[in-house]
Structure 1
């Protein structure tokens, strides 16, 4: 099976995130059947003997990395080998683009048996359905790379970073979980940094903390948008944040 060609899956870059798109989504996270997306990972192990304790049954794996607006899936592919035992999911709102990523992953799995089994994509709207897929403190890493800038002031409410949405992201991120952001638009970078700095559950990571993170270098060139910015000799602005403990909970304890 050959890799799909992007020219057949091109779609306009902008999508209205508050429109009534048709999506299938679980009512709550425990109703999501992840085995359809990661069939090799969820292959049924042999049942334990009667003498074995039920406590020895392994806990089903769960998605820990999420690429919000994953585009053509470049970051997922890059991180798959870097974290081979971690399940990763791309969320993409555009139909043709999500179809491309799905077929790309299927082709990679066939071309490289045993590899790329830990990545998958879902067509969905992260601004509306994130808590439907992920439970509290489930995620360890979240990526928001080159999001739609929504330049017009009346459309800034469509931006993927806002005070309300950050509270939802904080809910699904575990303490010490990481939120990576990158854009080529300085105004959007400033917007994201301002909202994240103001949110009590996020702390900006220092350069020293980021220095040994193997993910950082993948953010610049793995995505379609990142490569386009490089070709156009544009700037890229990155900000990395850590999900901190809830200060109100600490006060109560």
Structure 2
């Protein structure tokens, strides 16, 4: 399988990525469009979702990624593997998440993962980070009452900022106050496996809709 060479860092604020995408026809994307839906935001090469889709055929999976060559190659893998419950979209989540969510059937979105997003360490670049208040608010409006958001990073300051953003929104309630010792999902990402193999920490947290904001 040929390797896809892409830039490691993509600035979501650049002009190239300011046009929102149109939502796909979900009836054409998934064989069973009524199944519960899992969004993986910033899915990179998609290994995590491909494995999840094979393990959980009664779920649908959607990977969102700003690096178009990765999405093109991953969609080829979907066809090669014959999976009908997983799809990948090239988009800038900062401006495309809302139209995607608006197009979904009511209560379809039941699980969201944001794993190891680009940390953008420099203070002046913090506005490029993935988890912004607008993203949290969009998810708050469309996540099912029984749903969850799973966050993880190997950079504690980034993990804490993500937790702060979700924790500040009244629609979300963190499950416990300490970092999760283990991943509650059955598949680990490539970055997670590499980080743990080095003996380094992974900072994880799980959020669910708060009782006051459930449907």
Q: Note whether the superposition's TM-score is higher than 0.5.
A: yes
Partners of 2:7 and 2:36 lie apart in 1 by 29
How far the C-alpha of 1:161 sits from its partner, in A, is: 1.5
Which of structures 1 and 2 has the bigger CA Rg? 1
The 3 A distance-change label for structure 1 pair 25 and 63 is farther
Q: Unmatched 5+ residue regions in structure 2?
A: none
Note the residue ranges of structure 1 that are not aligned, 5 or more in a row: 43-59, 110-115
Measure, in 2, the Cα distance between the counterparts of 1:140 and 1:228. Answer: 28
Contact 1:75 1:218 in 2 (8 A): no
Deviation at 1:199, TM superposition (A): 1.4
2:213 matches 1:236:
no
2:53 aligned residue: 80
Per the TM alignment, residue 203 of structure 1 is displaced from its structure 2 partner at its CA by 0.3
**2:190 paired residue number:** 224
Q: Count residues in correspondence.
A: 209
Q: How does 1:46-85 map to 2 (within 5 A)?
A: 61=34, 64-85=37-58
2:107 and 2:212 map into 1 onto residues whose CA distance is 12
Q: CA offsets per residue over residues 28-72 of structure 1, 9 Å max, x none?
A: x5xx3134433xx16xxxxxxxxxxxxxxxxx5266110001111
TM-score w.r.t. structure 1 length? 0.73
| Structure 2 Cα separation of the partners of residues 244 and 12 of structure 1 | 38
User: CA offset at residue 119 of structure 1?
Assistant: 0.6
Residues of 1 paired with 2:191 and 2:15: CA distance? 26
How far apart are the structure 1 equivalents of 2:172 and 2:91?
A: 25
Q: Does the 8 Å CA contact 2:35/2:58 hold for their aligned counterparts?
A: no
The aligned runs of 1:8-157 (5 Å cut-off) are 8-21=3-16, 25-26=21-22, 32-38=24-30, 41=31, 61=34, 64-109=37-82, 116-135=83-102, 137-157=107-127
